[in-house]
Structure 1
């Protein structure tokens, strides 16, 4: 996953009422050249099955499960066939469960203590959340106090298309975006297309 995010350091978070409803938007995102998509978990019957259909329909996309904060959600993500999942919290029990099931779970962190704990638990990736409330310079400011080495960081939570380049320049490794109040409008998709065009070349 880290290698793929080095190629394109951007993820889009979709929150459809039913996963299958996301198919038209996935067609659009795939046409724009997006590689990484998250589908938010919902505790509803059929969620895993519908996600499995989407994953099979778009084999070129890297699918992840978003909003994974319970044992039930970890199991559902595994059953759906997701390559990875992201949590808003750091919960060792969920990390152990995901590891046993063979799925990468990226924990949500905010404080230096949580980042230190995530590293101690063997996490190579973390999700900085809620990123917008912390500011683009926050992550880089932690490097020296935490010994000079930070895990691969996906900044998420309240970020807009206009935030992508400033946050990457400030030192995070990837950005997760949602449509927010703007919704999946033509304006949003146009902005996303520009972001994809302006992303730094693979390193």
Structure 2
């Protein structure tokens, strides 16, 4: 994420139906993609097939809120995981499995708690609720260094550059990228032009 500070989050009850979207992301040059955990009986198998079928992408798992979800993600073989919550039990289990789990934080207390638990990366969620500049305002009261911050939740492609300029390290996008009708059985395609323009405008980092 230091090289491309963008993540795309995909969500569907049947992950196997996300193949067209993953193909779009691969062809556009997106590197980091998250697939939300789901309770489906064959979720693990479908995700294993996606991981094997898209070696060019660094696939992670999103929405990890329980030990059952974490165990499914570990079995599926994801490269990393992201949670909307800060749960010390999930972090301990992930550490025992040598698995990178990014916790969700919002308040100064949660940010400091994550830091004390050794989290080098956190997810600011929901970012749209706290607003642009929130992360920067935490710097002086909490003291540097703050963890690497991924802003997520309610953000659009047009928000990415302003949020990066305001001090976060990366931005995650989800539903705002969908171009098709929501609620259908098939996963909606992406509006590729905004995403292509965004990728071209992202800052180049060593």
* Superposition TM-score, scaled by structure 2 size: 0.93
RMSD: 1.2
CA distance, structure 2, for counterparts of residue 12 and residue 193 of structure 1: 13
- Is 2:149 the partner of 1:184? no
Matches of 2:20 and 2:13, distance apart in 1: 14
1:202 positional shift = 1.8
Q: Deviations over 1:77-130 (max 9, x none)?
A: 111111111111001011001111221110000011000000100100000000
Aligned position for 1:195: 198
Deviation at 1:187, TM superposition (A): 7.1
Give the match for residue 4 of structure 2.
8
CA apart distance, 1:23: 0.5
Consecutive unaligned residues of structure 2, counting only runs of 5 or more, are 181-188
Distance 2:41 2:190 in 1: 33
Any conservation in 2 of the 1:161–1:177 contact (CA below 8 Å)? yes
Residues 179, 188 of structure 1: 8 Å contact kept: no
SS in 1 for 2:12: coil
- Residue number among 15, 20, 27 corresponding to 2:16 in the alignment: 20
Q: Which residue of 1 aligns with 2:185?
A: none
The residue that corresponds to 1:136 in the other structure is 132
Question: Is the CA contact 2:21–2:190 (under 8 Å) kept in the aligned structure 1?
Answer: no
Task: Give the structure-1-normalised TM-score.
Answer: 0.94
Q: Distance in 2 between matches of 1:169 and 1:46?
A: 41
Counterparts of residues 93-172 of structure 1 (less than 5 Å):
93-172=89-168
Secondary structure of 1:141's partner? helix
Moved over 4 A (4+): none
- Secondary structure (helix, strand or coil) at the match of 1:6 reads coil
**Counterpart in the other structure of 1:79:** 75
Distance 2:46 2:170 in 1: 27
Q: After TM superposition, list the pairs within 5 Å mapping 1:56-71 onto structure 2.
A: 56-71=52-67
Unmatched runs of 5 consecutive residues or more in structure 1: none
- SS at structure 2 position matched to 1:25: helix
The DSSP-based 3-state class of the residue aligned with 2:191 is helix
Count of aligned positions: 198
